[in-house]
Amino acid sequence: MTDQKKTAQLSLNGQTYDLPILSPTAGPDVLDIRKLYSQAGVFTYDPGFTSTASCDSTITFIDGDKGELLHRGYPIDQLAEKSHYLEVCYLLLYGELPSPAALEDFEQRVTMHTMLHEQMHYLFRGFRRDAHPMAIMVGVVGAMSAFYHDSTDINDPWQREVASIRMIAKMPTIAAMAYKYTIGQPFVSPRNDIDYASNFLRMCFAVPAEEYEVNPILSRAMDRIFTLHADHEQNASTSTVRLASSSGANPFACIAAGIACLWGPAHGGANQAALESLKEIGTPDRIPEFLARAKDKDDPFRLMGFGHRVYKNFDPRAKVMKQSADEVLDLLGVENNPILAVAKELEKQALADDYFVDRKLFPNVDFYSGIILEAMGFPTSMFTPIFALSRTVGWISQWKEMIGDPQNKIGRPRQLYLGETERNYTDIESR
Ligand code: SDX
């Protein structure tokens, strides 16, 4: 916690209250209102937490006006270009880029935890084949606490460490198994002799009937997509993981809660919805019709993959994703992808439209990701599971930070009550 430097004065009901101002290393100052209710007898009111800091953190910082994203101080575009996902996982978990020896040890520890308990395979068979892979992931991850009892005690630092490694290591296996189950193909075991992204691609696309060669272009693109989704401050799913963890629930249950929250189309489900929207538009000549619908308050249609609570400029992840889309499609020999053409023209027209400009609505991480994922062979139903497996390290890093914080206490918001005041029960005969 930063030292208290300044105070703000609140005048209320003839009294003046001093509210400490906490200054961050980056971003806006914070009004410390922790004693407001006990001193002034009032709550603050902020549905959706548009102006509320729920915690302090040293992991990720977003400058929404500049469109900048830092992980432990390192800009996302540098990490996407120069690093790789497991190194970014180490950075998020431990705060510094690893030495070569530390990275090798970390990657080896993750590799040794990629397999899933054999009895958990039976869980998948309880789902209908047409289940959404996210439904399967919520169920299977939540059930992990029933199989990994030796890493559920959150008060034991060693068990926290093992749970962290297990989650990062097993999420690709679980996501790939969810996919294989829904397409009626046998599960493919992870291998210890290939890298994290290649393992995921092989577990998704290999079949026993033939050898599977990982395409290095796809593996590098997959790893970059993992990195771009790794962490993002106190977004809805991370806040869900923190709130669930604040009650002392086991890490697997808390990550399952984060997966459930991420699934929503306003959050991680937007990548699936964005590609489906682009396909519905179909051709550039239909863009004006859909832009009009997005602006029509009576029409529930929104431009999925556009807008962000924090970014009021280009989402830096979307910039990298857009470059990657061009590269991957070109390297895959996908000439003139019609959906990519619609996406680029849609972005161009939206960013020239006052409605979007005035509201500072720019493409976010979900706008281009689906185009790459589809070109890689994934169905839209696998887009959010891929987001979930990528974000697991962010959820876990934020969870570890919170559990290790001596200020940590159960999260319990208050409310602005607008319901009935006390009244007496009336018997049914007199109603
Ligand atoms: C992610 O928080 C994170 O960091 C999330 C994330 C992460 O990495 O964890 O970045 C990942 O979830 C990205 C966002 C993915 N969601 C979408 O792409 C869905 C479409 N976007 C919107 O639903 C919306 O922009 C949100 C949910 C992302 C943000 O919503 P806010 O901040 O609550 O903004 P708002 O709904 O109050 O919108 C402000 C105005 C409104 O118009 P007015 O009432 O002022 O006239 O902008 C309009 C909205 O109607 N608006 C849109 C729009 N997004 C906002 N209009 C049309 N299309 C859109 N996409």
Residue 36 above 90 pLDDT? yes
How far apart are the CA of 327 and the centre of ligand 1, in A? 28
- The whole-number pLDDT of residue 191 equals 97
C-beta 232 within 6 A of ligand 1: yes
Atom 4, ligand 1: which residue's CA is nearest? 235
- Take atom 25 of ligand 1 and give the residue whose Cα is closest: 307
Shortest-distance Cα residue to atom 8 of ligand 1: 232
Q: Say yes or no to pLDDT of 228 above 90.
A: yes
User: Ligand 1 mean position to 236 CA, how many Å?
Assistant: 12
Q: Phi/psi class of residue 168: alpha, beta or left (left: φ > 0; alpha: ψ in -120 to 50)?
A: alpha
| C-alpha pair distances (Å), 318 with each of 92, 323, 331 | 20, 9, 19
pLDDT of residue 135: 98
Q: Tell me, using a 6 A CB cutoff, whether residue 302 lines ligand 1.
A: yes
Q: What is the pLDDT of residues 274-289, one digit of tens each?
A: 999 999 999 999 999 9
292 Cβ closer than 6 Å to some ligand 1 atom: no
Q: What angle do CA 363, 365, 368 make, to 5 degrees?
A: 75
Residue closest to 137 by CA, chosen among 154, 119, 153, 123: 123
Which of 353, 355, 357 minimizes the C-alpha distance to 345? 353
Nearest to 258 by CA among 72, 90, 398: 398
Query: Which of these ranges, 80-84, 151-155, 348-352, 408-412, has the smallest mean pLDDT?
Result: 151-155
Model confidence at 5, in pLDDT bands (50, 70, 90)? Answer: low
The secondary structure element, H or E, covering residue 167 is: helix 157-182
34 touches 47 (CB < 8 A): no
What is residue 360's predicted lDDT score, i.e. its pLDDT? 94
- Residue 423 pLDDT class (50, 70, 90 cuts): very high
Whether the per-residue pLDDT at 408 is higher than 50: the answer is: yes
CA 416/CA 406 separation, integer angstroms: 29
Contact 367, 305 (CB under 8 A): yes
Q: How many helices (H) and strands (E) does the chain have?
A: 18, 6
Give the residue, 337 or 50, on which the prediction is more confident. Answer: 50
Residue 212 has pLDDT above 70, yes or no: yes
Q: Which residue has the higher pLDDT, 106 or 404?
A: 106
Looking at residue 302, its pLDDT comes to 92
**pLDDT-based confidence at 119, cuts 50/70/90?**
very high
- Is the distance from the beta carbon of residue 267 to the nearest atom of ligand 1 less than 6 Å? yes
Is the C-beta atom of 182 inside 6 A of ligand 1? Answer: no
Predicted confidence at residue 334, as pLDDT, reads 83
Using the mean position of ligand 1's atoms as its centre, give its distance from the Cα of residue 266 in Å: 7
- Given a cut of 70, is residue 4 above it in pLDDT? no
Residue written as tokens 């030495």? 99
- 226 DSSP 8-state letter: H
372 Cα–ligand 1 center, Å: 22
Position 20 confidence tier, pLDDT thresholds 50, 70, 90? very high
pLDDT in tens, 239-263: 999 999 999 999 999 999 999 999 9
Q: 378-388: per-residue pLDDT in tens?
A: 999 999 999 99
Q: What does the pLDDT read at residue 204?
A: 98
Tens digit of pLDDT for each residue in 73-97?
999 999 999 999 999 999 999 999 9
What pLDDT is recorded for position 296?
96
Substitution candidate for ligand 1 out of 241, 364, 387 with most atoms within 8 A of CB: 364
CB distance 165 to 113 below 8 Å: yes
Average pLDDT in the 198-225 region? 96
Q: Name residue, tokens 């937007």.
A: 270
Q: Give the separation between CA 241 and CA 221, rounded to whole angstroms.
A: 28
Residue nearest ligand 1's atom 42 by CA: 359
pLDDT at 1 (0 to 100):
47
Does the beta carbon of 305 sit less than 6 angstroms from any atom of ligand 1? Answer: yes
Instruction: From residue 156, give the alpha-carbon distance in Å to each of 32, 85, 95, 394, 403.
Output: 31, 27, 20, 20, 10
Judge whether residue 335 has pLDDT over 90: no
Residue 3 has pLDDT above 70, yes or no: no
Q: Are strands 30-31 and 4-12 parallel, antiparallel or unpaired?
A: unpaired
Question: What is the pLDDT averaged over residues 393-416?
Answer: 95
Instruction: Tell me the catalytic residues.
Output: 308, 366
Range 403-419 average pLDDT: 94
CA of 237 from ligand 1 middle (Å) equals: 15
Ligand 1, residue 306: give the atom nearest the CA: 60
What percent of the chain is predicted at pLDDT more than 70?
Answer: 99
